[in-house]
Structure 1
Amino acid sequence: MMSGEFDCIVIGAGVQGSFTAYELAKRKKKTLLLEQFVLPHTRGSSHGQTRIIRKAYDHDFYSRMMQECYQLWAQLEREAGVRLYRQTGLVVMGPENGRSYQLYKKTLQNNKVPMVVLTRENFNQHIPGVVLAEGDAAVVDVTAGVLYADRALKTVQDQFQKLGGVIRDKEKVTAIQPGPVVTVSTSAGVYRAKSVVIAAGPWTNKLLVHTGLQLPLETVKINVCYWKEKVPGSYDVKQRFPCFLQTESEEVHHIYGLPSNEYPGMMKICYHMGSKADPDQRDQQTNTSDIDILRRFVRRSLPGLLPEPAVVESCMYTLTPDDHFVLDRHPTYQNIIIGAGFSGHGFKFGPIIGLILCELSLGEVPSFDLSPFRIGRFQPKPKSAL
């Protein structure tokens, strides 16, 4: 059995946990990063070769966080000498008078993000191979692009270890005993630390049960679909074909796409929702209704792709009722910090979330206003007196 004393233990070596551990190690804190699976793995939410990075959002606070996040990604690139990002731009499309589309456009303007508003007349000149739906408008977040996700995750873990951090994979947490010093038991050892950060994605509530807390988190399995180009190179990242986000179609949730990269000649296009699934039983969830939605979209909007997915992979989302993150201290145990509910849009925030969770674990004032992310927002509000 292994054992050890640490300043901080981080549970979960996905992107958020890995950046938290890295920030702690930069501050010369003795840090242990625990992962239940052998690294690298594809069971959570941080695997896969690519993610979209963008400042285009429907809430100002996300756009503001991303301003600094871009700088932190660039800093990691310089430190490691590894390229983690390719600028392609992001085309946001949606009904011109639709609420969601207008919010995206307004947030870009509010935060002075370099942007281009496209008209129906010049859309195809700038974005060939995409049919803008009748009544839709489009705006480009020029700063957006593709993050190389697997490479980014490995890079931050390597940097953490270079700073003296300890990673132990294939160690499932079996118990958490709160106290002034927190005791964490795993399948291979017992560790103690002044603080613990739980960044375990879809397994968050399974760990929080040890602390007497359950959050309103829903775990869903997403089908990650790749669509073959009819003419290879038509939608290629090397040709600077942009990422896209289709808001408010006839469907409830967004559709997003990335230029062909991980599979040559195939574009990644997904529906931003899936079907409820236990992360330990995910392979039993075989619902493909989202793929039917995507087939219709590809047929209508991307004539250069075959309207049948060539490859289907999967990913887990952890959703909160309002789709905003949880970044907070445990309401009972102030030295247990929780980062959760990244709702399928958290990867790009990895560096800033790691910084915030690090600050919380050290008792520092966080770099950003965390009111949208507090656990207290889920508590029932007292009824006013009649």
Structure 2
Amino acid sequence: MEGQVFDVIVIGAGVMGLWTGLHLARRGKKTLLIEQFPVPHSRGSSHGQSRIYRLAYPEKHQTLMTKASYPFWKMLERESSEVLMKGFPLLRITEDPNDQIIEECLRSMQQSECEETKTERLTGEEINKRYPGVRFSPNCQGLLDHYGLILLADRCNRAVLGLYQNSGGILIDAAPIVHIEPGRIIKVTDAHQRTYCSQNLVICGGPWAGKLLSKLNYQLPLQPIKIPVIYYRIKGCSPARFSFLGNCAMFGEIFSLPELEYPGMIKFGPHYGPEIDPEQRDSLNMEPIIDCVSCFVRDHFTYLDPTPAIIENCMYTVTPDSICILDTHPVHRNISFGCGFSGAGYKIAPVVGQILADLAMDIPAPPDVRQFMSASRFTQSSIIMKQPQVCTTDDKGTNKDAKVRFRVPPSGQEKPHSRCGQEFPQKRRRRNLASKTETSDKTETEEKRK
């Protein structure tokens, strides 16, 4: 392997790196995919049995990318001869009657030419009536996205890797990268002192992307955070099956997936967590956040036992505006990268891989990508920095962030009803980007009229 010069090396065999490698290999490029851990593994952000696919985003560009990814997932299912998706609608709610998130999602889906018959707007009363055992305030607003699916993530990863290797792509795993030497021919050295050469490099490092880019003297505002994934047992008969995403004043943003990987259990998790070094993911105490999610389950999903049955972990890599970065290095133009997907990247991986493959072949990214996902946006004064998605803890797991306060009762005492936490961080809204999209649409319409 050493001594060969590849067309492209891709660092990171998570879902982004896998799709990037597949697109490149199918274009006839001599491609090497390098992964630091043995494949498969559960140390990054792409593992697990299930991920939500939805079109209900407030940002038009996110809805469009998700919609454009669907044919690739269908292709993967067809060519691998495996079931990789299951259809479940997504229920998105907000407890704030003045929140515009539902309206923004509907507008985004309409502008993306989604079928109106596949969306339903619901009140809190209608939600409670439709889903027995679900309990939300009558003032709650809801949207049912019938485009919703569950992607069977581990199966998907395995299928993409299989197609990549069948297309001539090469994988080297258990090979952490320790050095990158840029140049016309890029040299990448792993921890075993093996050096690989290529004309182009794509970095899909997930939580390690910031560290990899720093080897190239390039700093981006990327923060890995730890997310607990918690399963709760169903009491009695199985309820209606749907995915869930809620913006809750008391509990922050919570997601849920229906009974699937573990019979008789439903999966929940928060869209926030403590800052971490990905090398020390397991060193933090997650009990305060887990207790918060359990309080949410107890208050709003009465058909579940709010005692955690299984706890797993994942990592997000968040940016200041919760939008990913797809770009090339400002100095070394034959090095490109995709990072900072902020917990919303898995479903769009096929299109992300296509864009990164284009960048590696010196094909410009689409206008929306250059407008919303360029790294240069973090140097622009127009960016609106929203409330952090992270919460900081000390080495004992105690929360230190003044904006994220946990109030957990002493062991043995009953948890206070609906009071397990205060001021949890909401997922950051990108209203500035939504308004840019509207302005862009208006300009395009005016140009067509001319």
8 Å CA contact 2:125–2:137 kept in 1: the answer is no
Q: How far 1:104 sits from its partner (Å)?
A: 2.4
Q: What residue in structure 1 maps to residue 35 of structure 2?
A: 35
Q: Which amino acid aligns with 2:102?
A: Y
Given the alignment of the two structures, is residue 132 of structure 1 paired with residue 165 of structure 2, yes or no?
A: no
Instruction: Determine which of 171, 175, 191 is the counterpart of 1:171.
Output: 175
SS in 1 for 2:174: coil
State the alpha-carbon separation in 1 of the partners of residues 51 and 163 from structure 2: 21
Tell me which residue corresponds to 1:198: 203
- Residue 262 of structure 2: SS of its match in structure 1? coil
Residues 256 and 357 of structure 1: CA distance in aligned 2, closer, same or farther (over 3 Å): same
> Pairwise mapping of residues 318-329 of structure 1 onto structure 2 (< 5 A)?
318-329=317-328
Q: CA deviation at 1:207?
A: 1.1
Letter in 2 for 1:173: I
Cα deviation for residue 181 of structure 1 reads: 1.1
Given that 2:91 and 2:243 are in contact with CA atoms closer than 8 Å, whether structure 1 keeps it comes out as yes
Offset of 1:321 from its aligned partner? Answer: 0.6
Residue 244 (structure 1) aligns with: 244
Q: How does 1:257-272 map to 2 (within 5 A)?
A: 257-272=256-271
User: Given the two structures, how large is their TM-score scaled by the length of structure 1?
Assistant: 0.93
| Contact 2:87–2:148 (8 Å) recurs in 1 | yes
Q: C-alpha deviations, 1:357-380, integer Å up to 9, x for none? A: 000110113245212111111126
Say whether residues 1:379 and 2:375 are aligned partners: no
What are the within-5 Å matches in structure 2 for residues 250-329 of structure 1?
250-251=250-251, 253-329=252-328
Counterpart check, 1:155 vs 2:156:
no
Provide the rounded CA distance (Å) in 2 between the counterparts of 1:330 and 1:301: 46
Q: Does the Cα contact within 8 Å between 2:34 and 2:172 map onto a contact in 1?
A: yes
Q: Which of the numbers 231, 234, 237 marks the counterpart of 1:229?
A: 234
Gaps in structure 2 of 5+ consecutive residues: 383-450
1:85-117 Cα distance to aligned partner (Å, 9 max, x none)? 111110111134313333223323333432012
Contact 1:219–1:278 (8 Å) recurs in 2: yes
Tell me the amino acid that sits aligned with residue 157 of structure 2: L
Report if the CA contact (8 A) 2:124-2:137 is conserved: no
Q: Which moved more, 1:21-30 or 1:282-291?
A: 282-291
User: Separation in 1 of the partners of 2:85 and 2:255?
Assistant: 18
Q: Deviations over 1:52-88 (max 9, x none)?
A: 0000112111011112111111122122222211111
Partners of 1:93 and 1:138 within 8 A in 2: yes
**Contact between 2:123 and 2:140, CA under 8 Å: does it hold in 1?**
no
Structure 1 residues without counterparts, runs of 5 or longer: 236-240
- Describe how 1:110-125 pairs up with structure 2 within 5 A: 110-113=111-114, 114-125=118-129
By how many angstroms is 1:234 displaced? 2.6
1:173-207 CA-partner distances (Å, limit 9, x unpaired): 11100001111111232111110000001111211
Deviations 1:296-325 (A, max 9, x none): 211111000011211111001101011000
Q: Which is worse superposed, 145-154 or 224-233?
A: 224-233
Secondary structure in 1 matching 2:91 = strand
**Distance in 2 (alpha carbons) for counterparts of 1:100 and 1:120:** 15
For the residue of structure 2 that corresponds to 1:91, the secondary structure is: strand
CA-to-aligned-CA distance 1:112-157 (integer Å, 9 cap, x gap):
4320122445434432331122310211110112110000011000
Counterparts of 2:65 and 2:191 in 1: how far apart (Å)?
Answer: 37
SS of the equivalent of 2:359 reads helix
Note closer, same or farther for the CA distance 1:183–1:290 as it changes in structure 2 (3 Å cut).
same
Q: Distance in 1 between matches of 2:154 and 2:27?
A: 25
Q: Which amino acid aligns with 2:336?
A: I
Whole-Å Cα distance in 2 between the matches of residues 344 and 103 of structure 1?
19
Alpha-carbon separation, structure 2, partners of 1:234 and 1:126: 11
Is the CA contact 2:124–2:138 (under 8 Å) kept in the aligned structure 1? no
Shift of 1:2: 4.2
DSSP 3-state at the match of 2:232: strand
Rounded to whole Å, the distance in 1 between the matches of 2:314 and 2:249 is 23
Q: Provide the rounded CA distance (Å) in 2 between the counterparts of 1:299 and 1:284.
A: 28
Structure with higher RCO (Cα < 8 A, 6+ apart):
1
Does the C-alpha gap of structure 1 residues 380 and 56 become closer, same or farther in structure 2, counting only changes over 3 Å? closer
Corresponding residue SS for 1:339: strand
Secondary structure of residue in 1 paired with 2:93: strand
CA contact (8 A) 1:98 1:248 kept: no
Contact 2:22/2:163 (<8 A) preserved? yes
Residue 212 of structure 1 corresponds to which residue in structure 2?
217
Q: Is the 8 A contact 2:123 2:138 kept in 1?
A: no
1:145–1:242 Cα contact (<8 Å) kept = no
User: Which residue identity does 2:222 align to in structure 1?
Assistant: L
Q: Secondary structure at the match of 1:247?
A: strand
State the aligned residue count.
376
Change (3 A) 1:90 1:283: same
Q: Are 1:86 and 2:86 an aligned pair? A: yes
Counterpart-to-counterpart distance in 2, 1:61 and 1:264: 36
Q: Which amino acid letter does the alignment assign opposite residue 201 of structure 1?
A: G
1:98 aligns with 2:99: yes
Deviations 1:337-370 (A, max 9, x none): 0100011110111101000000011011324521
How far apart in 2 are the matches of 1:295 and 1:80?
Answer: 38
Matched, 1:52 2:52: yes
Structure 1 SS opposite 2:4: strand
1:3 Cα deviation after fit: 4.4
Please tell me the root mean square deviation across aligned C-alpha atoms, in Å: 1.7
